[in-house]
Amino acid sequence: MKPRSRFWWALGGTGALLVGLAVALVLWVMGAVTEPLPAGADRGDPQALGDPDQRISVLILGYDVELSPTGRRLIGRSDTIMVATFDPLLKRVEVLSVPRDTRTEIPGRGQDKINAATAYGGASLGVATLSQFLGVPFQHYVLVSVEGFADLVDMIGGIDVYVPYDMNYDDPAQDLSIHIKKGFQHLNGYQAMGFVRERYGDPEGDFGRVKRQQAFLKAVAEKMVQPSNWKNVPQLVKEALKHVRTNLTVDEILTLASIAYDAGPDGLVTDTLPTTDLWLKGVSYQKADPKTVALYVNRYVRGIDPEENSRIRVRILYPEGQEKVAASLAEALQTLGYPVVDVSPAHGDYKRPTAVFAQRDKVVAGRVMVRTLRYVWEELSSPYDASYLDRPDHDVKGPDGQILPWDVALWVGPELTADDVEKVFTLQPVVNRR
């Protein structure tokens, strides 16, 4: 058995314990391994998370532990709030961080900092609050305690990371004494904890801390691919299990792990929700603009990427009587970034329902379009081979008679209505309509 195969076998063999891997999906599943899964390795049940083309989002909340007056250990505020979205089609893991001081409505509690939700009501209220704030009904979560953080980092031999400024901060309440020099440093577990938690000396405040958390993820990923750390997997899992809660099943975790293996480190994308400073009654908050929230959710959670869509040339075909619907659909697709190169009537008496056709080298692009449209058209089927349309009377011709290339075609079925098209416009609500 090859070393990499043995490594994956060790992980797969401790499937249930993967739930407890500290920084759980954050470290292992988020591109921590550089090579694909070996042949025959357990990739989990491909149907465990539903549609195999669909993106899967996991809410990750890193929380402090607080003590009640009686000494009972309680879930505190969320020091880290991330949404990790796994994309099986584009082979990516995209992580959107939410600033912890963002002011929002916490169900049953009124307006407060978003990180207070876990302190008020644990994982359930944390998930409900983030679902409401982002407009996404999260089905999966990972709740990670900061306890054990230092030991886990020490188990992998520390991390190598760039420290953006001299850190000098003492906080007896959190048992933190942070004194780290600016520059590239090797940090042990205790120093790494200070690196990701300190914010008072950061010129960028909470945004700076979020950037450091993201840098930490990548630094750990680099350490975990080193063969010297593979022997530590059982220990890491055992330790992490003490500090992680999740509602993901073993099959779901393995399925997400296989997506991350396919993505590799280059497929890990991180970003932070932009906010602005807000002061209310002497308390500092961050304010999120609803349109910006919608834009970032579309990009990093739903996977609607106008820049990437702009490289996919789309044509629209329609039967008699569907001219207006087709024209409106062209406008709707353009709001999603797709260049529509042609809108024309189909030749022949076609009765087929609405469908997507993709050129053979653009099948993934066709599947991405179907996935996007399924947010509003649930019954849309997987894309068909474009060779079905490969006939001279279906060629797209320019003003000089030259044949224009296209990548994906959308057939407007007789059942498609103006109301159906209007739903497509809602996929990109930040775009101003005429």
What is the pLDDT tens value at each position of the chain, 434 positions in all?
433 333 333 333 222 223 333 334 343 333 333 233 333 334 444 445 567 889 999 998 887 766 556 656 567 788 789 898 999 999 988 989 999 999 999 999 999 999 999 989 988 999 999 999 999 999 999 887 776 677 778 888 888 999 999 999 887 766 678 899 999 999 998 898 888 877 778 888 777 887 887 788 778 767 766 677 666 666 776 666 677 778 887 778 778 877 877 777 678 788 999 999 999 999 999 999 999 999 999 999 999 999 999 999 999 999 989 999 999 999 999 999 999 999 988 876 567 899 999 988 899 999 999 999 999 998 888 887 766 555 544 566 666 666 678 899 999 999 999 999 999 998 887 655 55
Residue 62 buriedness (CB in 10 A; 0-12 / 13-18 / 19+):
buried
Domain termination residue (choose one: 302, 321, 346): 302
248 and 310 housed in the same domain? no
DSSP secondary structure letter of residue 54: S
Q: Is residue 222 part of a domain?
A: yes
CATH code (residue 58): 3.40.630.190
242 and 378 housed in the same domain? no
CATH code (residue 396): 3.30.70.2390
DSSP structure string for 329-392: HHHHHHHTT--EEEEEEPSS---PPSEEEE-GGGHHHHHHHHHHHTTT-TTPPPPEEGGGG-SG
46 and 154 housed in the same domain? yes
Domain count, the chain: 2
pLDDT of 45: 46
282 and 347 housed in the same domain? no
**Entry field: residues in the chain:** 434
Token output for 46: 């491909």
256 and 397 housed in the same domain? no
Q: Is residue 430 part of a domain?
A: no
Say how far apart CA 181 and CA 168 lie, in whole Å. 9
| Residue 12, domain extent | 3-302
pLDDT of 287: 96
298 and 398 housed in the same domain? no
Q: Is residue 242 part of a domain?
A: yes
Neighbours of 129 (CB within 10 A): 26
Domain termination residue (choose one: 281, 302, 323): 302
109 and 206 housed in the same domain? yes
310 and 294 housed in the same domain? no
pLDDT of 431: 56
pTM of the shown model = 0.77
227 and 372 housed in the same domain? no
395 and 252 housed in the same domain? no
291 and 325 housed in the same domain? no
Say how far apart CA 216 and CA 221 lie, in whole Å. 9
337 and 318 housed in the same domain? yes
Residue 15 buriedness (CB in 10 A; 0-12 / 13-18 / 19+):
middle
Residue carrying structure tokens 């930490």? 216
pLDDT of 289: 96
Domain termination residue (choose one: 302, 325, 351): 302
Say how far apart CA 20 and CA 155 lie, in whole Å. 15
